[in-house]
């Protein structure tokens, strides 16, 4: 019987983080980029909770995770509003097209 320990959680968190990062780095669709950000945040949440459970005890990790979730919701709202504004400006939500702030 495989015992589920801290390492497993950390691997899951790291996977989530890496996939999120990959998504953010490669997606052209702004919505996809936002979703990648969600993955990164949730990877971090997994780490918070796991460390709290296995290492420190108490509830501070969980509270941190909850804050991050709230933050992610707010971030998603602001991010989607920005995406909307980008769409209205560029008639597209391709992040590569929104490059007028270069140089």
* Footprint of other proteins (CB under 8 A): 21, 24-26, 33, 95-96, 98-103
Residue closer to other proteins, measured from CB, 35 or 49: 35
b vs e for 34-54, b when ≥16 Cβ sit within 10 Å of the residue's Cβ? bbbbbbbbbbbbbbbbbbbee
Please, what is the angle between helix 60-90 and helix 30-51, to 10°?
170
* Of residues 2 and 101, the one with the C-beta less far from other proteins: 101
State the nearest-atom distance from the C-beta of 52 to other proteins, in Å: 25
CA atoms of 23 and 40, how far apart (whole Å) = 9
- Which residue lies nearer to other proteins by CB, 3 or 102? 102
Least distance in Å: CB of 82 to other proteins? Answer: 11
**45 contacts 35 by C-beta, under 8 angstroms:** no
Q: Rounded to the nearest whole angstrom, what is the least distance from the CB of residue 95 to other proteins in the complex?
A: 6
Nearer to other proteins, 21 or 49 (CB): 21
Q: How far is the CB of 59 from other proteins (least distance, A)?
A: 30
Instruction: Map residue 94 onto helix, strand or coil.
Output: strand
């Amino acid at each position: 019987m495989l015992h589920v320990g801290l390492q497993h959680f950390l691997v899951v968190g790291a996977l989530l983080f890496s996939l999120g990062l990959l998504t953010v780095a490669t997606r052209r669709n702004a919505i996809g980029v936002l979703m990648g950000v969600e993955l990164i945040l949730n990877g971090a949440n997994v780490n918070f909770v796991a460390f709290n459970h296995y290492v420190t005890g108490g509830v501070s990790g969980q509270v941190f995770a909850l804050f991050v979730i709230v933050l992610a919701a707010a971030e998603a709202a602001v991010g989607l509003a920005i995406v909307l504004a980008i769409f209205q400006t560029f008639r597209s939500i391709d992040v590569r097209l929104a490059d007028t702030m270069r140089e």
